[in-house]
Chains A and B, each alone.
Chain A
Amino acid sequence: MHIPDAFLPLPQAALYWVIACIFIIFALRWSRSEMSEENIPLIAVLAAGIFAIQAFNLPIGMGTSGHLIGGALAAIVLGSPYAGIFVLTIVLIIQGIIFGDGGITSMGANIINMGVIGGFVGYYGYIGLKKITNQIYLSAGIAAWAACFIAALACALELAVAGTFPLIPGMVAMGVYHAVIGVIEGVITAGALYLIIQARPDMVPEKVKSIIKKDNNM
């Protein structure tokens, strides 16, 4: 879902950069207030893992491939949508500048789609679903799917405004492909959350890993 430079006119790309920078400032504030010596290694390993998985395109049929985005994963594991923005911003900067994966001018839009939308939909989707289902991993999987799907629709909308994609065909194609890619996002997010909770439960915030136990005596 990395938008290349060719897909956005410069004025619109600049506007997305401005919006992205506002969220990056909030993400930096989050990092200064919430990061600790204990969770810094988790954040770094998570970013390295997201970089690796984003490079691994899995076939999804329809002549298309897909990979994890990771904004939802980082936000859920670290307990804040701003964590998703923090991690994805750095990953996207490295990918864009060194590997040409996603554009430079369009990087603001990519940060909005994968970091901001991925982080917010992933985190608040997870918290909401966990309250309803009382299932940690199911909630994480569904929230990550939704984060991927909604980010794809936002991307299609941005490209329609840019005049690159026609609105309806663009939304349909992005929606169909990312509805399937989202399944990969959901499975990997749930799996990674499970592994991290098993390995270092103390690194995952209480609000993320806590579940409500039903009391049969009531």
Chain B
Amino acid sequence: MEDTVTQNPMSITLFVIAGLIIAFIIGSGAVFFASDNPDGLESAALFVQNAKELFGQSPEDGDPEAIGTGTFEFKAPIPDYTLERGEGVDVLIALFGISLTFIVVFGLARGLHRKS
């Protein structure tokens, strides 16, 4: 027998606003509370070039990309989500990125849906 989780749905407008507020809080929080440690791939890169132990701390001056063999280079306009003009600007950058993602996905999805 099939059973389904059911609740009274909140309005779509409220759902979108609540979702974006949560995303904005997370994005802003990242500016102040995100770890400075390298992520999993960067840590693995440091490990395989003997710059860190598997379970040890990462070196502050480690360069994960030093091991790279690729030749292509691209300079992003806002590298690493910061313009290095203070945390206030970084929060605005996070909000910009979240808003841009929402608008692009919403616009593309709408466009594709209308075409179909």
Residues of A within 8 A of B (CB): 1-10, 13, 28, 31-33, 35-38, 40-53, 55-67, 87, 90-91, 94-101, 103-106, 136, 152, 155-156, 162-166, 169-170, 172-174, 176-178, 181, 197-203, 206, 209-213, 215
Residue of B nearest to A30 (CB): B112
Cβ of B98: which chain A residues have Cβ within 8 Å of it?
48, 51-52
- Check if B35 sits within 8 Å of A172, measured CB to CB: no
- Check if A56 sits within 8 Å of B26, measured CB to CB: yes
Residue of B nearest to A93 (CB): B104
Residues of B within 8 A of A (CB): 1-7, 9-10, 12, 15-16, 18-20, 22-24, 26-27, 29-30, 33-41, 43-45, 47-48, 52, 54-58, 65, 67-81, 94, 97-106, 108-110, 112-113, 115-116
- Check if A48 sits within 8 Å of B76, measured CB to CB: no
A sample of 26 cross-chain residue pairs with beta-carbon separation below 8 angstroms, ordered by A number, consists of A5-B70, A13-B72, A28-B112, A37-B113, A41-B106, A44-B102, A44-B103, A45-B15, A45-B102, A49-B19, A62-B57, A64-B43, A90-B108, A94-B97, A94-B100, A94-B104, A96-B76, A100-B76, A101-B80, A164-B45, A170-B44, A178-B40, A197-B5, A199-B9, A209-B4, A210-B4
Using A56-B26, A90-B101 as known contacts, say yes or no to A174 and B41 having CB atoms under 8 A apart: yes
A43 contact from B24, B35, B109, Cβ within 8 A:
B109
Residue among A40, A58, A156 with the most chain B CB within 10 A? A40
- Check if B4 sits within 8 Å of A32, measured CB to CB: no
Residue among B78, B97, B115 with the most chain A CB within 10 A? B97
Known contacts A47-B102, A90-B101; can you find 8 more A-B pairs with CB under 8 A? Answer: A5-B73, A6-B70, A48-B99, A49-B19, A52-B98, A67-B39, A95-B97, A174-B40
B70 contact from A94, A105, A215, Cβ within 8 A:
A105
Cβ of A5: which chain B residues have Cβ within 8 Å of it?
68, 70, 72-74
B30 contact from A37, A41, A57, A63, Cβ within 8 A:
A57
- Check if B101 sits within 8 Å of A48, measured CB to CB: yes
CB of B21 to closest CB in A, whole Å: 10
- Check if B37 sits within 8 Å of A41, measured CB to CB: no
Alpha-carbon distance A91/B33, docked complex (angstroms): 22
Residue of A nearest to B79 (CB): A100
- Check if B72 sits within 8 Å of A48, measured CB to CB: no
Cβ of B109: which chain A residues have Cβ within 8 Å of it?
31, 35, 40, 43-44
Alpha-carbon distance A65/B35, docked complex (angstroms): 6
B55 contact from A1, A45, A62, A90, Cβ within 8 A:
A62
CB of A103 to closest CB in B, whole Å: 7
Residue of B nearest to A100 (CB): B76
Alpha-carbon distance A52/B112, docked complex (angstroms): 24
- Check if B38 sits within 8 Å of A63, measured CB to CB: yes
List the 3 shortest-distance A-B pairs measured between CB atoms, nearest first: A6-B68, A100-B76, A45-B19
Alpha-carbon distance A57/B32, docked complex (angstroms): 11
CB of B37 to closest CB in A, whole Å: 4
A65 contact from B38, B67, B115, Cβ within 8 A:
B38
Using A49-B26, A136-B5 as known contacts, say yes or no to A66 and B54 having CB atoms under 8 A apart: no
